[in-house]
Structure 1
Amino acid sequence: MDSHDKQTTKNHRFTQALYHAIHGTWDVFSRERNMRYHVTAAVVAVIAGFWFKISEQEWLWIIFAIFFVFLSEFANTVAESLTDLIVRGRYDPLAKRIKDVSAGSVLLSATFAVIVGAIIFIPKFF
């Protein structure tokens, strides 16, 4: 497939947009090591939710925390990919800052998720 066959314009159909969105989602889930850790933690939280029969409100918090972490990881992947595209392997202190701050946002969202999980599940153990 040469470069003339690759799409470089806006999607014209919903199915095109959906295809690209699914491809992008799969790309993050399959390539990003930390995303696999987040998925594992999410699966554990969902299993624990069923096990402990958490309330509807607790489910909302768990689901919010899971999606917040996932979205942060997606944004981090975008920031890192764009930075890598621009600097092309050269060291740049601003590029480092972009990557560090982006990774920090994932750390904060994951910390939020741990706090939500602790508030919901720790009392269920006692």
Structure 2
Amino acid sequence: MDLKETSKEKIEKIGKNPNFVASVRHALDGIRIILKEEKNMRSHALLGLIPLMFAWFFESSALEWIVIIFCIFLVIIMEFLNTIFENVVDLVTDYEYHPLAKKAKDIAAGAVLVTVFFTILIAAILFLPKLVELHYKLN
């Protein structure tokens, strides 16, 4: 790349999205890529169905549905961010080990784990009392 090249010329080479439809197409490509390449994302998406089934079974209120869906999407968004961090770190380090690279990747993964624990806590608060009540009704 020419050192005298302007930022605008660099952006044109990279291929700035020409319109909204192209932006959406690229975003959908990102979703397909993460679902195809990241096992954890597929796991989060599938496990996210469990609280949705509980919400349906227990006829949860609208507010409970909102909280559950928010938590599921929060985990998925954190997995997106974790994957972004991992890819950028790998790009910058050219896949060579560096303690700061490991630290950044571990922290990003930790953020996902904390979000998963948060979601499990919310699910327990919402569904444990309903499960206990159902248990006593059946016995």
TM-score normalised by length of structure 1: 0.91
Structure 1 unmatched runs, 5+: 1-6
1:62 matched to 2:68:
yes
> 2:48, 2:21 → 1: CA distance?
29
3-state secondary structure, aligned to 1:101: helix
Pick one of 10, 27, 30 that aligns with 2:36: 30
Q: Which amino acid aligns with 2:82?
A: N
> What is the aligned partner in structure 1 of residue 19 from structure 2?
13
1:67 partner SS: helix
Which residue identity lines up with residue 30 of structure 1 in the other structure?
K
Residue 37 of structure 1 and its aligned partner are, at CA, apart by 1.4
**Cα RMSD (Å):** 1.1
- How far apart, CA to CA, are the structure 1 residues paired with 2:48 and 2:95? 33
| Alpha-carbon separation, structure 1, partners of 2:36 and 2:65 | 26
- The 5 A counterparts of 1:16-95 are 16-95=22-101
| Equivalent of 1:107 in 105, 113, 133 | 113
> Normalising by the residue count of structure 2, what TM-score does the alignment of the two structures yield?
0.83
Highest Rg: 1 or 2?
2
Q: Deviations over 1:21-76 (max 9, x none)?
A: 01101111221111111111111111111111111111111011001101100000
Q: Greater relative contact order (Cα 8 A, min sep 6): structure 1 or 2?
A: 1
Q: CA deviation at 1:11?
A: 0.5
Counterpart amino acid of residue 101 in structure 2: A
- Where does structure 1 differ by over 2 angstroms across 4 or more consecutive aligned residues? none
**TM superposition shift of 1:78:** 0.2
Structure 2 residue ranges without an equivalent (≥5): 1-12, 133-139
